[in-house]
Structure 1
Amino acid sequence: MDNNPSILSHVSIGTNDFERAIAFYDAVLPTLGCKRFMEHPGAIAYGKQYPEFWVGTPFDGQPATVGNGTHIGFIAPTKEAVHAFYEAALAAGGKDDGAPGGRPDYSEPYYGCFVRDPDGHKIEAAFSYEQLE
């Protein structure tokens, strides 16, 4: 029986500066309890229990681009983790795209932040009291 709660196998994003991207995610993802899981030439996977978030150079050798309307949302275990994620991201070269705070348009207990990584990918950390139920 599969105990994996995710509906996705993994998510991959491209980078045009592999070392810079890895330094960024090495600094940011531990704030949410994530670690490096796998490494291949030009690609590194992060996760808590399995490799579910990959960062790498595009396989086809073309420049990596950012998807308009696309973002990756990470689960934060607490509001404090949302702040730690945000602060680590800015310190590691990310850009603010929505400071930590409530998002009543999403739902009342939703609390999150948005950041652009050094390649321009939009990433989010979010906590919801609904996670505790």
Structure 2
Amino acid sequence: MLDHIAVQVSDVEAAAAFYLRVFAPLGIREAMRFPRDGAFVVGLCGPDGAPRFWLGPSTGGPSRELHVAFAAPSRDAVDEVHRIAVATGAEVLHAPRVWPEYHPGYYGVFLRDPDGNNVEAVRQERVET
């Protein structure tokens, strides 16, 4: 449904390194980067190669927690995101598990990125009832 999302971060390089390493099991990689106002804007993509998740320098102002969920190809990929997040010292908000309150096939891990945002890797499977 979304075409793309852009997030303003305090340190583009640190944020890009976090997303590229932690979410690598989902196929997320850098698609492009370009300079802007003495810093860089980085576009990340999934397997289709289209930059849909953008990181840019913060322009100040009030901050709010953002929640972004990345689609995972399997539960194993969700577990691998969790493993990498723990290895990098990221804060784990909720370890991987099924979230039946969302629906029985919802399997996800919730983390904090370097700017305090709530980021998730999720595998949504259809479960016959």
* 1:93–1:11 Cα change, 3 Å: farther
Equivalent position of 2:2 in the other structure: 8
Partner residue, 1:3: none
Going from structure 1 to structure 2, the CA distance change for 1:33 and 1:105 (only over 3 Å counts) comes to same
Paired position in structure 2 for 1:72: 68
Task: Tell me if the contact between 1:37 and 1:46 (Cα under 8 Å) persists in the aligned partners.
Answer: yes
Residues 8, 55 of structure 2: 8 Å contact kept: yes
The letter for the 2-side match of 1:52 is: R
Is 1:99 the equivalent of 2:95?
Answer: yes
Identical-pair percentage: 34
Q: Which runs of structure 1 show a deviation greater than 6 angstroms over 4 or more consecutive aligned residues?
A: none
User: Is residue 42–residue 54 contact of structure 2 (8 Å, CA) maintained in 1?
Assistant: yes
How far apart in 2 are the matches of 1:64 and 1:90? 29
Task: Give the aligned CA root-mean-square deviation in angstroms.
Answer: 1.8
| Structure 1 position 55 matched with structure 2 position 55 | yes
TM-score for the superposition, normalised by structure 1: 0.82
**Aligned residues of 2:12 and 2:42 also touching (Cα < 8 A):** no
Structure number having the greater strand percentage: 2
Residues matched between the structures, number: 121
Alpha-carbon offset, residue 92 of structure 1: 2.8
Give the 5 Å matches for 1:21-40.
21-40=15-34
Q: Is the 8 A contact 2:20 2:28 kept in 1?
A: no
1:89 Cα deviation (Å)?
2.3
TM-score by length of 2: 0.84
